[in-house]
Structure 1
């Protein structure tokens, strides 16, 4: 069956710039339109039309980055007008195409789905050292001792620190998973620590040792610049939002840079952030579980939409696990990693969900 779904994906990819016809796809596959639609959703966790929408809009960001005319891009991807394209774009990315084109802000990647990747498939292995060298040539001020690099997780922290990838600057890991469990208003105060520790079924002492102690430099030293290294998935972006909220609460006055990246190829997009509204967004999203009232980077806007959807009892991941709960846990987790890369959950989050559903 997976081979048939891959044939559907390949056909869809070849027709992304045409008016989509489920009847034509079903004729090509030799199955009924209903069967094609049902099986595609069952295997991939996403509807055909949603897949086409996200692929078209993601590919169109590359055209916008190359400064093509928006109306030409709209017609290229089979939108009836520039206005229709702009509405769809803003629904997914939170800003309109013109704003994106002017500011070149990071977005979540939505690449072609590959089902059951074979031995010839491998992750891009672009050297992190090479990418960092490129950043240094563009912004050397981020490599001195008055800079703190905060990295998403212990593994990334150890690699950067051990290899001194950012020169004489300091390094700290953020060992949290803010996309699960509840949060409190004041970031990193005692109430926050107790709330987060309880959610993770940890003692307060263990939580402090794992999460708070590694951030000691953030709390006790002054820095001219803080560089935040976070992936574009929902897991990383909720961690990022928490740290930005803390910087605002603590009155930090230096520069803040976001180095947003994709894990599979480590291609970094660097942007300087302006503090001023992230705490209010943190409170709306992670405390109250509401939609943000202010405009955001597209990558964070997308991540928040995913986060709020994942709070629903019958979200896409839960549905997929429910339909495939008889699979061995290891195979099911591998499928979830492949099909839901924008979520960014790790093994522990997926295992907890699987056990709960079973």
Structure 2
């Protein structure tokens, strides 16, 4: 069956710039339209039409970045008008195509699915050192002593610190998962620590040692610049939102850069951020679970959509678990990692969802 789904994906990819016809796909596959739709969704966790929408829009960002005319891009990807394309683009990315073209802001990647015979999704692995060296050539000042790098998670922190990837600057990990459990309005205060520790079913002491102590430099030293290394998935972006909220609460006045990346290929998109509204967004989204009322980076806008959807009992991940509950837990977790990279959950979050389901 996985080979059949790959054939569907290959056919779709070859026809992304043509008007999609489920009947043509079913004729090519030799199965009924219903069967093609059902099996595609069952194996990939996403509908064919949603896959096509996201692939077209993601690929179109490359054309926009190359300064092609928006109307030409719209017609290339089978939109009836520039207005229809712009509406779809803004719905997914939170900004219109012209704004993206002018500012080249980071978006979540949506790459072609590639399934091998064992049903695993292929991933690239590019050396982080090479990418960091390229960044150093562009902004050498980010490698100075007065710079703090905050990295999403202990593993990335240890790799960066051990190899001194950012030169003489300081390093600190953020060992949290803000996309799950309740939080409080003030970040890193006593109530926050107690609430987060309780949500993770651990002691306050353990939470302090794991999350708060490693951030000591952030709390006690002054920096001219803070560089935030967070992936483009929802898990990382909710952690990023929390750190940005704290920087505003603490009155930080230096520069802030986001180095946003995809885990599989580690291609970094560097953006200088302006503080001023992230605390409000943090309260709206992570505290009150509402949509934000501010314009955001597309990658964070997309992550918030995923976060709010994951709060629903019938979200796409839960539906997939329900349909595949007979699989061994280890195999199901591997599939979830591969199928839902934009969620960014780890083993613990998926195991909890599996147990609940």
Q: Smaller-chain TM-score range?
A: over 0.9
> Aligned equivalents of 1:121 and 1:255: distance in 2?
38
Alignment of 1:195-274 (within 5 A): 195-274=195-274
> Aligned equivalents of 1:342 and 1:120: distance in 2?
16
Cα distance per residue 1:56-109 (max 9 Å; x no partner): 000000101111110000000000000000000000000000000000000000
> Aligned equivalents of 1:126 and 1:138: distance in 2?
19
SS in 1 for 2:275: coil
Shift in CA distance, 295/208, structure 1 to aligned 2, threshold 3 Å: same
Shift in CA distance, 21/120, structure 1 to aligned 2, threshold 3 Å: closer
> Aligned equivalents of 1:122 and 1:30: distance in 2?
26
Alignment of 1:59-98 (within 5 A): 59-98=59-98
Cα distance per residue 1:179-206 (max 9 Å; x no partner): 0001100000001000100000010000
SS in 2 for 1:296: coil
SS in 1 for 2:242: helix
Q: Does 1:320 align with 2:320?
A: yes
- Compute the displacement of 1:4 (Å): 1.2
What root-mean-square deviation, in Å, do the aligned CA atoms of Structure 1 and Structure 2 show?
1.3
- Compute the displacement of 1:123 (Å): 3.4
> Aligned equivalents of 1:130 and 1:122: distance in 2?
21
> Aligned equivalents of 1:232 and 1:320: distance in 2?
22
> Aligned equivalents of 2:302 and 2:117: distance in 1?
26
> Aligned equivalents of 2:329 and 2:34: distance in 1?
29
Q: Does 1:123 align with 2:142?
A: no
> Aligned equivalents of 2:120 and 2:36: distance in 1?
27
Corresponding residue of 2:13: 13
Shift in CA distance, 269/292, structure 1 to aligned 2, threshold 3 Å: same
Corresponding residue of 2:114: 114
Cα distance per residue 1:144-199 (max 9 Å; x no partner): 11000000000000010011111110000000000000110000000100010000
- Compute the displacement of 1:115 (Å): 2.3
**Runs of at least 4 residues off by over 6 Å:** 117-121
> Aligned equivalents of 2:111 and 2:54: distance in 1?
9
For the 8 Å contact 2:235–2:344, the answer to whether it is kept is yes
Cα distance per residue 1:19-50 (max 9 Å; x no partner): 00011111111111111111111111111100
> Aligned equivalents of 1:126 and 1:113: distance in 2?
18
TM-score by length of 1: 0.98
For the 8 Å contact 2:185–2:287, the answer to whether it is kept is yes
Corresponding residue of 1:300: 300
For the 8 Å contact 2:179–2:235, the answer to whether it is kept is yes
Q: Does 1:340 align with 2:345?
A: no
Corresponding residue of 2:29: 29
> Aligned equivalents of 1:278 and 1:120: distance in 2?
37
SS in 2 for 1:23: helix
Please, which runs of 5 or more residues in structure 1 have no aligned partner?
none
Corresponding residue of 1:184: 184
Alignment of 1:94-105 (within 5 A): 94-105=94-105
Please, which runs of 5 or more residues in structure 2 have no aligned partner?
none
> Aligned equivalents of 2:15 and 2:38: distance in 1?
20
For the 8 Å contact 2:64–2:100, the answer to whether it is kept is yes
> Aligned equivalents of 1:112 and 1:225: distance in 2?
36
Shift in CA distance, 25/152, structure 1 to aligned 2, threshold 3 Å: same
For the 8 Å contact 2:26–2:36, the answer to whether it is kept is yes
SS in 2 for 1:171: strand
Q: Does 1:355 align with 2:351?
A: no
> Aligned equivalents of 2:201 and 2:68: distance in 1?
51
> Aligned equivalents of 1:121 and 1:8: distance in 2?
15
